[in-house]
Amino acid sequence: MPEVKPNLLIKTKAPPSLQQKLQAQFNCFDIRKGIDQVPSEVLEHCEIMVAGGESRVDQELMHKLPKLRLISNVGVGYDGIDLNCAKARGIAVTNTPDVLSGEVADLCVALMLSLSRRLPEADAYVRSGRWESEGPFPLTCRMSKTRAGIVGLGRIGREIVKRLKAFDMEIAFYGHHDEPGVQRMPSLLELAAFADYLIVCVPGRPENKNLIDAKVLQALGPNGRLINIARGSVVDEEALTTALEQGVIAGAGLDVFAQEPKVGERLCKLTDRTVLLPHVGSATAQTRQAMGDLVWANIEAYLSGKPLLTLVPELKG
Return the active site residues: 231, 260, 279
| Residue of the chain from 175, 232, 281, 292 that contacts ligand 8YV (CB under 6 A) | 281
Return d(Cα 292, Cα 38) in angstroms, integer.
24
Strands 147-151, 197-200: pairing is parallel
Return d(Cα 184, Cα 266) in angstroms, integer.
34
Q: In sequence order, which ranges of 235-284 are alpha helices (DSSP H)?
A: 237-245, 265-269
The yes or no reply on residue 175 touching ligand 8YV (CB under 6 A) is no
Nearer to ligand 8YV (CB atom), residue 270 or residue 315: 315
Q: How many residues form the binding site for ligand 8YV (CB under 6 A)?
A: 11
Nearer to ligand 8YV (CB atom), residue 76 or residue 277: 76
Residues 10-69 contacting ligand 8YV, CB under 6 A: 12, 52-53
CB of 100 to ligand 8YV, least distance (A): 5
Q: Which stretch, 80-88, 119-127, 137-145, 277-285, contacts ligand 8YV (CB under 6 A)?
A: 277-285
**Going by C-beta distance under 8 Å and a sequence separation of 6 or more, which residues neighbour residue 218?**
243, 248
CB of 238 to ligand 8YV, least distance (A): 22
Contact indicator for 157, 135 with CB cutoff of 8 Å: no
Q: How far out from the chain centre does Cα 89 lie? A: 27
The yes or no reply on residue 233 touching ligand 8YV (CB under 6 A) is no
Nearer to ligand 8YV (CB atom), residue 50 or residue 244: 50
Nearer to ligand 8YV (CB atom), residue 233 or residue 282: 282
Q: What is the DSSP string of 287-300?
A: HHHHHHHHHHHHHH
CB of 265 to ligand 8YV, least distance (A): 23
Nearer to ligand 8YV (CB atom), residue 109 or residue 185: 109
Cis amide prior to 307 (ω within 30 degrees): no
| Residue of the chain from 46, 75, 267, 310 that contacts ligand 8YV (CB under 6 A) | 75
Question: Maximum distance among all alpha carbons in the chain?
Answer: 74
Contact indicator for 85, 105 with CB cutoff of 8 Å: no
**Going by C-beta distance under 8 Å and a sequence separation of 6 or more, which residues neighbour residue 238?**
none
The yes or no reply on residue 156 touching ligand 8YV (CB under 6 A) is no
Q: Which residues bind ligand 8YV (CB under 6 A)?
A: 12, 52-53, 74-77, 100, 279, 281-282
